[in-house]
Amino acid sequence: MTWLITGGAGYIGAHVARAMAGAGERVVALDDLSAGFAARLPESVPLVAGSAGDPALLRQVFAEHEVTGVVHLAARKQVAESVARPTWYYAENVGGLATLLDAVAEAGIGRFVFSSSAAVYGTPDVDLITEDTPCAPVNPYGETKLAGEWLVRAAGRAHGIATVCLRYFNVAGAAAPELADTGVFNIVPMVFDRLTRDDAPRIFGADYPTPDGTCVRDYIHVADLAEAHLAAARQLNAAGAPGDLTVNIGRGQGVSVRELVTLIGEVTGDTRAPVVEDRRPGDAPRAVASAARAAKELGWSARYGLTDMVESAWRGWRLHHGR
């Protein structure tokens, strides 16, 4: 069978493509290259340049590559941007997904892995977030991911598509420097960017009800995340596999923002003290995954630790930013 990976030339998508192709799966990537780079993909993975919201292109790709499963990662994913442009986010993330699912159903494709997010949970007051923790997103990005899950499950029931929704926690690191995240939207590259510009790192809020007053998060290495996608794809291929599964992808270990910034200082050699600024709206004091269902249903657990994430991300940052 062949898996189509939408957003396959992006930071996460290229890791997924490499992991699946390296494990012997047939893979084709679809990417509009607005944030992705063709050079990230191995030679064995063909790239189709275009939008996952283009029905004619989807029909062509499905037929030419004999696609039998889809891993859908293509989406808009910046929280602040979603607050500023909510209608566009819904159109891109939910409307585009509806177009893709219509094409999947029309082609008779029976397997679908959906890239979701821990943003669907909002700000739950629990030690470990399970898949049964109530969802209450606090921004349009999280809303579009939750609506996307609803849509995926509904389409699965209506058309006999077996589905897995993977709720990512905080993704960091790189399997190779050339695959590193080139954006400055997540906390690790944001700190790197500050240090590169000879500025102190920033911490938003140090008065939370946590051991050191800063937010606690669950960080997952992008290579582990890629292996989770491979596990999900193979689970959908297994005889008797559930047709509708939702799984957290995290390590189940909390790390405070201050602890992370301290580790980044140790790895980079720039140990200047961070500047504490006001809290950001919507930041939960603690957001840590329960990884039990991933282990039980997918046979998957994270292998890499936080130091691996920071060191590999720093190697990628230096490659792309010339430091």
- H helix count then E strand count, the chain: 11, 14
Same domain, 30 and 81: yes
Q: Contact at 8 Å (CB) between 229 and 19?
A: yes
Given 249, 270, 298, the domain boundary residue is: 249
Same domain, 164 and 269: no
Q: Contact at 8 Å (CB) between 288 and 218?
A: yes
Same domain, 107 and 184: no
Given 207, 229, 249, the domain boundary residue is: 249
Q: Contact at 8 Å (CB) between 75 and 93?
A: yes
Query: Is residue 111 pLDDT above 80, yes or no?
Result: yes
Query: Is residue 182 pLDDT above 80, yes or no?
Result: yes
Percent of the chain with pLDDT over 90: 93
User: What domain count does the chain have?
Assistant: 2
Same domain, 183 and 294: yes
Query: Is residue 282 pLDDT above 80, yes or no?
Result: yes
Rounded CA-CA distance 235/220 in Å is 21
What's the mean pLDDT when you consider all of the chain? 96
Predicted pLDDT of residue 239: 64
Predicted pLDDT of residue 243: 80
Provide CB contacts within 8 A for 184, sequence distance 6+.
190, 193
Q: Contact at 8 Å (CB) between 63 and 56?
A: no
Same domain, 138 and 7: yes
Same domain, 206 and 236: no
Query: Is residue 258 pLDDT above 70, yes or no?
Result: yes
Same domain, 143 and 63: yes
Given 199, 232, 249, the domain boundary residue is: 249
Q: Is the dihedral of CA 194, 199, 201, 203 positive or negative?
A: negative
Same domain, 148 and 211: no
Same domain, 12 and 103: yes
Reference 94, options 118, 114, 108, 111; nearest CA is: 114
Rounded CA-CA distance 229/248 in Å is 12
Range of the domain at 155: 2-171+219-249
Q: What is the pLDDT of residues 9-68, one digit of tens each?
A: 999 999 999 999 999 999 999 999 999 999 999 999 999 999 999 999 999 999 999 999
Same domain, 142 and 48: yes
- Selected catalytic residue, list 141, 168, 219, 304: 141
- Where on the phi/psi map is residue 74: left (φ > 0), alpha (ψ -120 to 50), or beta? beta
Known active-site residue 90: no
Same domain, 83 and 50: yes
Q: How many other β-carbons are positioned within 10 Å of the β-carbon of residue 279? A: 15
Residue 204 belongs to a domain with what CATH number?
3.90.25.10
Query: Is residue 226 pLDDT above 70, yes or no?
Result: yes
Predicted pLDDT of residue 1: 84
Residue 120 belongs to a domain with what CATH number?
3.40.50.720
Same domain, 203 and 235: no
Q: Contact at 8 Å (CB) between 300 and 228?
A: yes
